[in-house]
Amino acid sequence: MGEQDRGYHAERVAVSYWDAMGNETVRYFAANVPAEEIPETIDSPSTGLPAGRDKANPPQSAKNEPYKTHLAYVKERRTDEEAAQLLEEALQQLRARRGTTAAS
């Protein structure tokens, strides 16, 4: 039993997309879908980079930012004084919950 034994199959068209690293990704669309509804760019599943239909000129990523940790984002939003105040408030709440009131 193969696909031919499983009933009617809709006509489809294959569209190739290339990312900046030269990786090709093929997406299939129904043949009756208007050309303007087929996306010009997709995210490449292998690299995460944008991929376009033009092999010679693939789209470039806007900006390749390094991964930031949660702490890095927090440090962007808080000054050292605000961080110290928040830490002290959190420590006071923790000590109250544990029943200890010793100051550090």
* Tokens, residue 33: 């879908």
Residue 37 lies in a domain: yes
CA 97 to chain centre: 39
**Is there a single domain that holds both residue 21 and residue 44?**
yes
Rounded CA separation 52/12 (Å): 19
**Is there a single domain that holds both residue 75 and residue 45?**
no
Domain with 93 in it: 66-103
- For residues 32-39, give the mean pLDDT: 94
Number of structural domains in the chain: 2
**Is there a single domain that holds both residue 16 and residue 43?**
yes
Phi and psi at residue 91, to the nearest 5°: -65, -40
**Is there a single domain that holds both residue 47 and residue 73?**
no
Condensed to tens digits (0 to 9), the pLDDT of residues 9-26 reads: 789 999 999 999 999 999
The pLDDT assigned to 4 comes to 63
Task: List, in order, residues 6 or more apart from 30 with CB less than 8 Å away.
Answer: 10, 11, 12, 13
- Kindly report the pTM of this predicted structure: 0.54
Residue 78 lies in a domain: yes
**Is there a single domain that holds both residue 45 and residue 16?**
yes
Rounded CA separation 96/87 (Å): 14
Beta pairing class for 24-30 and 50-52: unpaired
Rounded CA separation 103/88 (Å): 10
Q: Is the pLDDT of residue 28 over 80?
A: yes
pLDDT tier for residue 74 given thresholds of 50, 70 and 90: confident
pLDDT tier for residue 48 given thresholds of 50, 70 and 90: confident
**Is there a single domain that holds both residue 42 and residue 72?**
no
